Amino acid sequence: MAKKKIGLIGAGNIGGELANLALTKQLGDVVLFDIPAKEKFAKGKALDLEQATALSGSDGKATGTSNWADVAGADVLIVTAGIPRKPGQSRDDLVATNLPIIRDVADNMKKHCPDAFVIVISNPLDAMVYELKRRTGAKREKVVGMAGVLDSARFALFLARALDASIKDVRAMVLGGHGDDMVPVLSACTINGVPVRELLAKDKLDAIIARTRKGGGEIVELMGTSAYYAPASSAIAMAEAYLLDQKRLLPGAAYLDGEYGYKDLYMGVPIVIGAGGVEKILEVKLSDEEKEMLKKSADSVQKVVDVVKKST
Ligand code: APR
């Protein structure tokens, strides 16, 4: 079987770590794409990463380019094109800058890799993935947004630390938009089946939820730019599920067509990722409180999507 081709659109901080993980995990050959002004940078990064394979023993090749023709035929595209947050900015503040970038990516993607499974990371996530799907006309199975895996990972880590538990045993699920209104589904959060609500007092749990909601912002304040290791790991888990037909149940931003009562909107819900892309959207039972939180989150996403729709 021929090696798979993974196109990374944006060769910045997340792009570099995506490439590193894809090569180390031997998922395929990697193409790091960036704008012409960053082509030499992308080529240099690719060369550095490829030299590292001499030590990891991975057979994957890495190339850097600013020519979309080099990305043609990619099996998976992971999109990080755009600018990241600076301290004091919300994800929604990025819409004016990142919208034209996503449109440029969508037009090229449609032309050069119409069959790719696409994972969008660029922020504001739910609106950017919506626009990419709208503009390309791709099927909803083929276009997904990465946020829920990351938000759930952050929640899981904070739970593990508070409980002095192994991270291996924590199951956490965060749904909704990738913003401050994200929805932690406590009924689905357990330490290997034991509900966290039985293990942690409400005030402690509330503090962890608040920290999770601001999890990205905490890192932006510390580093002056947004996170990249955990976002890259999260997207690679989704890419791997597709490439290896793992049928993983992961939270991800999927196009809703009536599920959970929402239509024509991308938002974080539990999905199954396998060789068919987003093979299923699971409608899990939510409590009234969780439904209300999801509504608030959907309203926030809708506001940004409306801004995007108006500027077409
Ligand atoms: N096509 C391809 N790449 C582009 C384009 C474009 N039209 N426009 C910008 N880029 C590139 C930039 O040149 C830069 O190298 O996208 C890259 C983004 O890299 P970083 O600035 O290092 O940002 P990163 O931390 O990787 O985050 C990227 O993901 O999590 C989100 O909020 C974050 O929207 C941001 C994105």
Cα–Cα distance for residue pair 130/126, rounded to 1 Å = 6
What percent of the chain has pLDDT above 90? Answer: 94
pLDDT at residue 311 in the model: 87
Residue 263 has a CB neighbour count (10 Å cut-off) of 10
pLDDT at residue 106 in the model: 98
Cα–Cα distance for residue pair 141/43, rounded to 1 Å = 32
Q: For the residues 74-87, what does the mean pLDDT come to?
A: 95
**Nearest atom within ligand 1 for CA of residue 94:** 34
Place of tokens 């500027």: 311
Q: How confident is the model at residue 294 (pLDDT cuts 50, 70, 90)?
A: very high
Contact 268, 293 (CB under 8 A): no
pLDDT above 90: residue 1:
no
7 lines ligand 1 (CB under 6 A): no
**Nearest atom within ligand 1 for CA of residue 38:** 13
Alpha-carbon dihedral 215, 217, 219, 220, rounded to 10 degrees: 160
Q: For the residues 260-274, what does the mean pLDDT come to?
A: 97
Q: What is the pLDDT of residues 230-260, one digit of tens each?
A: 999 999 999 999 999 999 999 999 999 999 9
Q: For the residues 211-234, what does the mean pLDDT come to?
A: 96
Q: What is the pLDDT of residues 190-203, one digit of tens each?
A: 999 999 999 999 99
Q: How confident is the model at residue 300 (pLDDT cuts 50, 70, 90)?
A: very high
CA–centroid distance, 258 to ligand 1, in Å, is 32
Please give, one letter per residue, the 3-state secondary structure of the chain: CCCCEEEEECCCHHHHHHHHHHHHCCCCEEEEECCHHHHHHHHHHHHHHHHHHHHHCCCCCEEEECCHHHHCCCCEEEECCCCCCCCCCCHHHHHHHHHHHHHHHHHHHHHHCCCCEEEECCCCHHHHHHHHHHHHCCCHHHEEECCHHHHHHHHHHHHHHHHCCCHHHEECCEEECCCCCCEECHHHCEECCEEHHHCCCHHHHHHHHHHHHCHHHHHHHHHCCCCCHHHHHHHHHHHHHHHCCCCEEEEEEEEEECHHHCEEEEEEEEEEEECCEEEEECCCCCCHHHHHHHHHHHHHHHHHHHHHHHCC
Place of tokens 């083929």: 142
pLDDT at residue 264 in the model: 96
pLDDT at residue 283 in the model: 96
Residue 140, CA distances (Å) to 73, 182, 253, 311 in order: 19, 22, 11, 22
104 lines ligand 1 (CB under 6 A): yes
Nearest CA to ligand 1 atom 7: 101
pLDDT at residue 179 in the model: 87
Question: 80, 178, 182, 300: which is the annotated catalytic residue?
Answer: 178
Cα–Cα distance for residue pair 130/90, rounded to 1 Å = 18
112 is catalytic: no
Cα–Cα distance for residue pair 309/312, rounded to 1 Å = 6
Which tokens in the block code for residue 122?
Answer: 């660029």
pLDDT above 80: residue 115:
yes
pLDDT above 90: residue 92:
no
12 lines ligand 1 (CB under 6 A): yes
Q: For the residues 60-77, what does the mean pLDDT come to?
A: 98
pLDDT at residue 180 in the model: 87
Tell me, rounded to whole angstroms, the distance of Cα 95 from its chain centroid.
17
CA–centroid distance, 259 to ligand 1, in Å, is 31
pLDDT above 90: residue 6:
yes
66 lines ligand 1 (CB under 6 A): no
179 lines ligand 1 (CB under 6 A): no
Tell me the pLDDT of the chain averaged across its residues.
96
Contact 31, 70 (CB under 8 A): yes
